Every structure is written in structure tokens, then in C-alpha cells.
């Protein structure tokens, strides 16, 4: 039982750190604030995570593991319904670790490990989107020239990566608050999939519009 206590403390530190990073932005959260929020001494925090970068890296590792698991599901996407669910799940994960995207450029400029790993994230997202397009093409849901796949996949990844930044710019005071999460996620999924509209089979295009209407995700 004694051996499990440090792991529980380390887990709790990460949970609170993630909550604070998401709420205030990573640059605005100090280790002093984290230890105060936890009700532990700074020394106890440093015992588990000797530097702030170790907290960031640990949270990013969790995000990356969850992301890679989710991206593997892109192989099973065959139509708009599948793609809608896939994109919404992806945006839910991004929202869970939204501090990474809110402060992305700042984080990458200060953390070489994150800089390197995020390049892999972009490559894996692009690979997954290509798999999604391939599956939808083989099922007849989309008709896209092979020469357009690379640019379309890249455009979709750009929107995925910077959607929350756009949300923040359009409404800095409220965009990243939990109460607004579902609306933001649905708008994100809509805008990524909207890039496929020119290539969708007419019935699939109509189904996408019905999904957008049903969930009220049209951008305001």
C-alpha cells in the first residue's frame, strides 16, 4: 500500500496541472500555483516532477498515446457518419488537452522535445486523414482525384491543429470555457468535414448537412 501512494500523488498532480493549464494557459501557471492548488509543499511537487517541463511532457505523452490510438481508427471510416464521429472524437481529445493548442507556438519555442514530437503528431494526423479519404473513396462516399489528396489532407490537418486558436481569437473571454466545449467541438468537426463537400457523393453531402443541422454546429 505504501508503494502506491507516490503514484497516486503523481497522478493527482497531473490532473490538477492539466486543469490549471487548460483554464489559465500554461505560461500563466507556475509550479507554486500548482502546489498551492494541491495543498502540498513545492518540495513535494518537485519530488515527483523536478521541473515544469516534466509536467508538460508527461501530459503531452498522455495526449500522444490517446491520439495515436484514436488515429488508428481512421482506417475504419467509410462514410460521412463515420467521419463525423471520428472528427468529433478527435476534437474531444484535443479539447481535453487544449492548453497544448492554445499555447502551441509558445510551447514549441521553449521545449525541444515537444517541438520534435509535435512534428510526428502532424505526420500521424495527415496519415490518418489520408486513410480516411481512402476508405471513403473505396466505399464510394467521395470521389477525389489522387492528385488532390495530399493538399486536401493537409488542409484538414491545418484546421484540426489551429481550430481552437481561431475559437479563442473570436471570443477570448469565453471560447475555452467548459460550458462552450460542445459547440466548439461541433463547429470544429463541421469545418474540417466541410473541406470534403466538393468531393462528396450527393447523398453523402446531404447527410453531412443533416448532421450539421441536427447538432446545430453551424458557425455563428
Q: How many CB atoms lie within 10 A of CB 46?
A: 13
Predicted TM-score (pTM) of the model is 0.88
Round to whole Å and give the CA distance between 153 and 96: 23
Round to whole Å and give the CA distance between 46 and 37: 15
pLDDT at 5 over 70: no
**Residue 7 banded pLDDT, cuts 50, 70, 90:** low
pLDDT at 220 over 70: no
Rg (CA), the chain: 19
**Residue 219 banded pLDDT, cuts 50, 70, 90:** very low
Q: pLDDT per residue over 109-129, tens digit each?
A: 999 999 999 999 999 999 999
Q: pLDDT per residue over 177-211, tens digit each?
A: 888 888 888 888 999 999 999 999 999 999 999 99
Amino acid at each position: 500500500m505504501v508503494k502506491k501512494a507516490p503514484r497516486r500523488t503523481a497522478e493527482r498532480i497531473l490532473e490538477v496541472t492539466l486543469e490549471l493549464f487548460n483554464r489559465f494557459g500554461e505560461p500563466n501557471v507556475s509550479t507554486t500555483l500548482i502546489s498551492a492548488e494541491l495543498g502540498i509543499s513545492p518540495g513535494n511537487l518537485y519530488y515527483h516532477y523536478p521541473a515544469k517541463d516534466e509536467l508538460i511532457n508527461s501530459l503531452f505523452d498522455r495526449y500522444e498515446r490517446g491520439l495515436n490510438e484514436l488515429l488508428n481508427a481512421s482506417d475504419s471510416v467509410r462514410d460521412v457518419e463515420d467521419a463525423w464521429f471520428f472528427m468529433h472524437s478527435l476534437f474531444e481529445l484535443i479539447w481535453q488537452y487544449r492548453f497544448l493548442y492554445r499555447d502551441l507556438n509558445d510551447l514549441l519555442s521553449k521545449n525541444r522535445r515537444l517541438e520534435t514530437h509535435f512534428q510526428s503528431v502532424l505526420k500521424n494526423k495527415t496519415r490518418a486523414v489520408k486513410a480516411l479519404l481512402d476508405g471513403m473513396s473505396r466505399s464510394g462516399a467521395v470521389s477525389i482525384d489522387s492528385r488532390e489528396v495530399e493538399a486536401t489532407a493537409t488542409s484538414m490537418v491545418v484546421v484540426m491543429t489551429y481550430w481552437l486558436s481561431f475559437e479563442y481569437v473570436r471570443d477570448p473571454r469565453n471560447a475555452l470555457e467548459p460550458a462552450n466545449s460542445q459547440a466548439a467541438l461541433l463547429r470544429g468537426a463541421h469545418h474540417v468535414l466541410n473541406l470534403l463537400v466538393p468531393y462528396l457523393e450527393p447523398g453523402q453531402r446531404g447527410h453531412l448537412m443533416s448532421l450539421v443541422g441536427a447538432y446545430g454546429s453551424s458557425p455563428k
